[in-house]
Structure 1
């Protein structure tokens, strides 16, 4: 097979296998597969759904269907074939031999995206572990990156892709080392979370289906220049910024990787540490692309991931989940009117457009309300000379009374009744 790189012309095929159920219908799955291909710089020359009545162990498709794929490749000058499904190593090899072109499946494509997008050391570790897990049974690509690490892993060609014999034992050893390094990362992240809980700024985590607009909303709320393109998986590594909310001087906003349907199991496991940031949040903002026809199926996928993380059990969530119905500007007037009524009836739903800013001030107000609902009334007696602490209480809490409490050992005393939430109380005690 010749090398294929960014800009390659690809044929995207979505197998619709009889008896297999999916949350998305075949056309929606095909559109998502096209989005994945575009995210890695592939030119989609043509795409179609291919019904599969019976899986062929050697090629997945029947002989006639393989011939049709070959004809489509010739017609559209496609040098790459993307199969939106899981191919066994034998199926992948046989299809490549019969079609005379590079073939990658859904997992390989997502891994390629992850390899390109991962920006931090942790992200690269997770990508490489997932890649090795996927490739250990295939051993059909070069493995020079085992000696010389790099960010991407060469499904689509690039540096280091010389044909060499891969060593299974070396792969297993490398995976063992990566797991130990990732375990250390998890411990470090745990320490960071502990420190944040003591510190104690409230944390708001943005979650949602990939391309729902999380990064655009993150930029709108923080003014940060986080990568926010109309691409699937534009964000892989959590990004955190401080923001100010009504009634709260400082909160931490966390942007996370987008969820997706049928994410391969080895990727879910490898990216668990990244998603664990969500479990440390005080509020989860579920950003939904409300203009997408598959928005309900996408919501189901996100909630399933949150269940896997232990955040949601049954219908109950251990962390408040505020739904943000994003891309409101893309709705038709009739749809907007109908959905506005639904949003008004649910105090855990906010309508907004991250692109235009519509609804964002109300969203900030609601976040401030949710983060201060746990506030309770506290009473402190402080020396009148403790100006810094008294000023802090006025700045961070809702001061109800501030009155003279007589004389103490160090002079006049002030009795202050103030409403604080648990994190603010923790921060005051650390002053």
Structure 2
């Protein structure tokens, strides 16, 4: 079904603010983020949002009886069809609340899955999202699964048909999982071949990472001249995009734009976007892009660092931090950010939308990817033309002589280039 054919669903967003969570982060920015998540789906119209303070979690209904009745009145008055709860909801709570309010209900994980389904474009991305959705719904056999035959579009949680028998659901899930695993095995094999061919590329890889909506794709477009989908919207980019760019020094690098991170990212989706995450693990330099104008910028940076660590990115991995969107700061805050950045070699204040600060950032990237170089002499046979071409492409050949047996080359290269050469 095409986006313009989908009916618009009236939605209300609720952020449960548990007493035990109140010392950690303010609930209002979390609610705002949840509303932005909902706005990322084209067929949803968010007509209202509330923080619901909870002294304790009610196992069967999430909220207390009084609050449920109060919200029922509000939802009915707004003719709400879907309630989005910014947090985990058990299958029992979901069923009971849907019955009490007469609406469909989606929790945070379900909503993010819907967005990822709507945005995934590569074959692996689409398959991994489908599998993540099945994992998530495995314990929720109160929903319909007729949407499983659909090739694209949402996952059916938002506007799907009514309930079906649990046995039929289970059978549909198992059959679909089997099909997806077989398809995925083929796709992964193809991508491994692509990765192997990328390993032969002599250029360093620079990966942009950051909280969703930090402006990574805008920065990527600014640096590469590409036209990646960039919009002020959560999860605008879901599949890894790579482009080669020439730095001011003349060096060339592969720039990789990645999926935006988010707090409480569903564990199913960390696995689902292994393709993007592998680009980060293989990167020679990680560029952490932050929206410095966001009131929760520090918390978002903490979330990104936590996820990077959980992915296996080492503590001392080459990393620089970019404070993006300085054009959105007022005078004093902007001056302070620029001053702080000027005093730190690994910190850069930029505006991807206006281009401010790009020269210093690109110069730093050039310096960061230049590891200490050592000189070596290599002997290659005439049959090793591919290796010889690689060395010339990498620009590491200082001198070459030929003999009856092949070539002797003096090379000046980094440890990373040597490692890549040895993998050829």
TM value normalised by structure 2: 0.86
Instruction: Give RMSD over aligned pairs.
Output: 3.2
Q: Quick one: distance in 2 between partners of 1:225 and 1:208?
A: 19
Once the two structures are TM-superposed, the CA of residue 340 in structure 1 deviates from its matched residue by 2.2
Decide which of 73, 76, 101 is 1:74's aligned counterpart.
Answer: 76
Query: How does 1:109-258 map onto structure 2 within 5 Å?
Result: 109-157=111-159, 161=161, 164-165=164-165, 166-258=168-260
Report the 3-state secondary structure (helix = DSSP H, G, I; strand = E; otherwise coil) of the residue aligned with 1:281.
coil
Q: Quick one: distance in 1 between partners of 2:85 and 2:417?
A: 52
Query: Partner of 1:293 in structure 2?
Result: 295
Query: Partner of 2:373 in structure 1?
Result: 375
Query: Partner of 2:34 in structure 1?
Result: 33
Query: Partner of 1:386 in structure 2?
Result: none
Once the two structures are TM-superposed, the CA of residue 354 in structure 1 deviates from its matched residue by 0.7
Gaps of 5+ in 1: 383-388
Once the two structures are TM-superposed, the CA of residue 196 in structure 1 deviates from its matched residue by 1.9
CA deviation vs aligned residue, 1:25-58 (integer Å, no higher than 9, x gap): 2111101001001101322212111111121122
Q: Quick one: distance in 2 between partners of 1:266 and 1:27?
A: 26
Decide which of 355, 358, 364 is 1:357's aligned counterpart.
Answer: 355
Query: Partner of 2:333 in structure 1?
Result: 335
Report the 3-state secondary structure (helix = DSSP H, G, I; strand = E; otherwise coil) of the residue aligned with 1:372.
coil
Q: Quick one: distance in 2 between partners of 1:100 and 1:233?
A: 30
Decide which of 316, 324, 327 is 1:326's aligned counterpart.
Answer: 324
8 Å Cα contact 1:14-1:84 kept in structure 2: yes
8 Å Cα contact 1:248-1:396 kept in structure 2: no
8 Å Cα contact 1:198-1:426 kept in structure 2: no
Q: How many pairs are equivalent?
A: 409
1:420 aligns with 2:413: yes
1:15 aligns with 2:8: no
8 Å Cα contact 1:79-1:101 kept in structure 2: yes
Q: Quick one: distance in 1 between partners of 2:116 and 2:23?
A: 23
Gaps of 5+ in 2: 381-386
Change (3 A) 1:380 1:126: closer
Change (3 A) 1:215 1:24: farther
Q: Quick one: distance in 1 between partners of 2:219 and 2:278?
A: 21
Once the two structures are TM-superposed, the CA of residue 60 in structure 1 deviates from its matched residue by 0.1
Change (3 A) 1:304 1:390: closer
Query: How does 1:51-70 map onto structure 2 within 5 Å?
Result: 51-70=53-72
Q: Quick one: distance in 1 between partners of 2:121 and 2:389?
A: 41
